[in-house]
Structure 1
Amino acid sequence: MSDRQAVSAGLGLVQRPRRNRKSDWSRRLVRETTLDASDLIWPVFLVEGEGRREPVGSMPGVFRFSIDVATEEIGKVAALGVPAVALFPNTDPRLRDEMASVALDPENLVCRACRAIKSTTPDVGVITDVALDPYTSHGHDGLLRGDEIVNDETVAVLTQQAVTQARAGSDIIAPSDMMDGRVGAIRAGLDAADFQNVQIMSYAAKYASAFYGPFRDAIGTNKTLRGDKRAYQMDPANTDEALREVALDLEQGADMVMVKPGMPYLDIIHRVAETFHAPTFAYQVSGEYAMIMAAAQYGWLDEERAMMESLLAFKRAGAAGVLTYFAPRAAALLRGRE
C-alpha cells in the first residue's frame, strides 16, 4: 500500500463533499440556486432633452438618459431577457417646489417615458416610483410642514401620483416613501380609477441607509435634502419591525414587496420570504453598486465575479428578483453562458 493510499484509508471517509465539486459539469448539476436574466430589473435614470447620455459620476458605468436614448437602451436590455425596468427622474430644479406639484403632471418626465417605452417595447414591464423626493424642493419623500413630514396629506398626493402614472401606462406602481397607510390608499385609488390590474410593488422594508448617496446624486437631490429621512425610513437595527411593515402592506393590497438596501439586509430578505411566501424583491442600491465598481477599478476585486456573486446572494436569500444597475451587463453575461 502506498503512503497516499494509507492516508486515504486512515481517514475512513464515506462522505466526501468535494466529489461533487471536482468539475464544472458536476458543480452545475448540484447547484442549489440559479440566476437568470428574468430575475433582474433595471433601474433607469431619466433626464430632459434629446440624445442625452450623462454619466453619473459616483456610479461608474451608469448614465442618465433622455427619453429617446432610454427607449433604445431598454430595447437592447429587453432583447437580453430582462423583463422590467424601473424609472427614476432627474427633475429640473426649477420645477421642484414644496408641494411636489410636478409629480401630478401627466406630462412630467416619468409619464412621457412610460408612454414612449410602452409604444416601443410593449412587452417590457414598466415600474414607476411613487414618492415625492424627485419633485420637492426640500428633497423629502413627503410634504413638509415646519420640521415634520406629514403622513396623511402626503398619502393623498401619493395616491394621485400613482393614478397619474397608471394613466401614462405604468404596469407596476412602486411606493417608496414609507408613509403609513399608503399602499391601501393607492390600491383604493387605482381601483376607483379602473386600474384594478395595475400591480403594486411596495418598498415595504426600506431602511434609513447610508448606501443611498450615489442615487441621490443621480436624481439630483443630494444638495436639496434638508436633514435626513429617519423619521419615516426604518432603523437599520430593526428586523421584527420589517415583518410588521410587510404584513401591513400585504394586507392593504401589495402584490409584491421589496427590501432596500439589499446586501446589508440579506437577513431581512430571508425572513420576509420565509414568513410570507409572497414575491419578495431586493434592491441592490447605488452604494452597493458603487463599492463593487470602485474596488474593481482599483484592482481589489474581480468585477465580473463580484457582480455575479452579489446577485446570486439575493436569490439564495430568497429574493424572487433584484433591482440592479448591473442588469444589462449581468444579462449579457448570462446570455453568453446559454
Structure 2
Amino acid sequence: MFPQVRLRRLRRRKIIPLLEETRISNHDLIAPLFFDEGAEEAVPIQAMPGQFRWPVRKAGDVVTRLYNAGIRAVLLFGIPKEKDAEGSGAFASDGVVQQVTREMKSICPDMVIITDLCACEYTDHGHCGVIGESCDGPCLLNDPSLEMMQRIAVSQAEAGADIVAPSCMLDGMVSSIREALDDYGHQDVLIMSYSSKFASSLYGPFREAAGSGYSFGDRTGYQAPVPNRREAYRESELDAAEGADILMVKPAGWFGDIITDIKQLGLPVAAYQVSGEYSMIRAAAQNGWLDEKRVVIESLISLKRAGADLIITYFAEEVCRWIHEQ
C-alpha cells in the first residue's frame, strides 16, 4: 500500500530547475534611482544601506553601469535644490529629472526611462499637488493638482521620458495626463499609473531618500486604505478605463492578493517593492539573521507568482548579477 503518486520525485535537486513555474529575468526588473540637484558626490541614504542620492553629473555613469549589468529600465526620482508651494521644479524644463533624462537618453538610448510624476519632492509642504482650505483645514485640491500633473507630464515627455508614472493618486489623473500628452504630440509615451497605492507604513526610508516628508497632515486622503481590497481594485479599474498602459500595486510584498486581483483587468502589472521592504531585508541580512540572496529572490518570485509582470526593486542591480552568475 505504498503511494504511486510521489511528488517528491519532482523535487530531486537536478529536476527542480527543469520544472520551475516562475522565474525572474533581468527584463522583469526596474531600478529606482534618486538624483539630487544639490549633490556634488554620491550621498549614502542612511535608512537604505547600499542606496545613494546621485549627483546629476553622474547620470551617464550610473545608466551605463546599470545597462551593462543587465537592467533595461529605470525609474527616476528627483530632489531639487529649492522647493516652493507650486512645486515648480517638477515641471521646469531644466528640472533635475529632466536633466537626468536627457543625459541618460544621450548616453544610453536603449534604456527605458520612467519618470515618477508627482510633486511631493518639489513642494515646500510635501504634498502631491496644490493645497487649499476645506472644512477640515488644509488639504490637497484634486482638480487644480491635475493641471499641475499635466504640466509635469509634458515637461518629462519633452525631456525624453519613455514612460511617465503618476504617483499622486488623484481622481482622474490618467485621463487628464493622457489628454495633455496627446495634445502636445506625445502619443507614444506610456502611462504607468500608481493605480493601487496604499497609505502604507513602509514608505519611511523613501521619505529620507527623496526628501518628501510633509509639513502637516498625512496622505491618507488620497492613498488607498490598507484594509480595503475592493477599493484598491476599483482604483485600478478606473485607471484602466482612463487609458493607463501599465497598472501598479505599491507596496508589493504584503499585497499579493491585490496584484492577483488587478491582473484580471488585462493590463501589464508592476509591483513596487518599496523602501521599507528593502531596508527590512537588508538590515536583517547585515545582522546575519537572513540569507539576503535567497530571501530577495524568494520575495521577487512571490510577486511574479501573484501576477506581476514588472518589479520595481532597489535590489535590481544585485539580482541581475545573481542571475548572470547562476
Q: Is it true that 1:79 corresponds to 2:68 in the alignment? A: yes
Of 200, 204, 208, the match for 2:191: 200
Q: Is it true that 1:126 corresponds to 2:113 in the alignment? A: yes
Q: Separation in 2 of the partners of 1:51 and 1:118?
A: 21
Stretch deviating more after TM superposition (184-193 or 141-150):
141-150
RMSD over aligned CA atoms reads 1.1
- Unaligned 5+ runs, structure 2: none
- For these two proteins, the number of residue pairs brought into alignment is 322
Partner of 1:302: 291
* 2:102 and 2:159 in contact (8 A); partners too: yes
Q: Separation in 2 of the partners of 1:139 and 1:284?
A: 22
AA partner of residue 275 (structure 2): S
Partner of 1:284: 273
Stretch deviating more after TM superposition (72-81 or 34-43):
72-81
Partner of 1:13: 3
Partner of 2:149: 158
Partner of 1:37: 26
* 1:40 and 1:321 in contact (8 A); partners too: yes
AA partner of residue 290 (structure 1): S
User: Deviation of residue 214 (structure 1)?
Assistant: 0.4
Q: Separation in 2 of the partners of 1:71 and 1:281?
A: 26
- Which has the larger Rg? 1
Describe how 1:254-333 pairs up with structure 2 within 5 A. 254-273=244-263, 275-333=264-322
Q: Is it true that 1:178 corresponds to 2:169 in the alignment? A: yes
AA partner of residue 70 (structure 1): A
- Aligned-partner SS, 2:32: strand
Q: Is it true that 1:230 corresponds to 2:220 in the alignment? A: yes
- Aligned-partner SS, 1:264: coil
Q: Is it true that 1:145 corresponds to 2:136 in the alignment? A: no
AA partner of residue 123 (structure 1): D
Deviations 1:28-62 (A, max 9, x none): 11110010111000000001257511110000100
AA partner of residue 205 (structure 2): P
AA partner of residue 6 (structure 2): R
Stretch deviating more after TM superposition (253-262 or 67-76):
67-76
AA partner of residue 198 (structure 1): V
- Unaligned 5+ runs, structure 1: 1-9
Q: Separation in 2 of the partners of 1:72 and 1:62?
A: 15
Partner of 1:100: 87
* Runs of 4+ with >4 A deviation: none
Partner of 1:116: 103
* 2:37 and 2:96 in contact (8 A); partners too: yes
User: Deviation of residue 225 (structure 1)?
Assistant: 3.6
Q: Separation in 1 of the partners of 2:52 and 2:60?
A: 13
Q: Separation in 1 of the partners of 2:132 and 2:274?
A: 29
Which structure shows the higher helix fraction? 1
Distance 1:123 1:140, change over 3 A: same
Q: Separation in 2 of the partners of 1:36 and 1:315?
A: 10
Q: Separation in 1 of the partners of 2:312 and 2:76?
A: 11
* 1:51 and 1:69 in contact (8 A); partners too: no
TM-score of the aligned structures, taking structure 1 as reference length:
0.93
AA partner of residue 210 (structure 1): S
Identical columns (%): 42
User: Deviation of residue 154 (structure 1)?
Assistant: 0.1
Q: Separation in 1 of the partners of 2:146 and 2:319?
A: 36
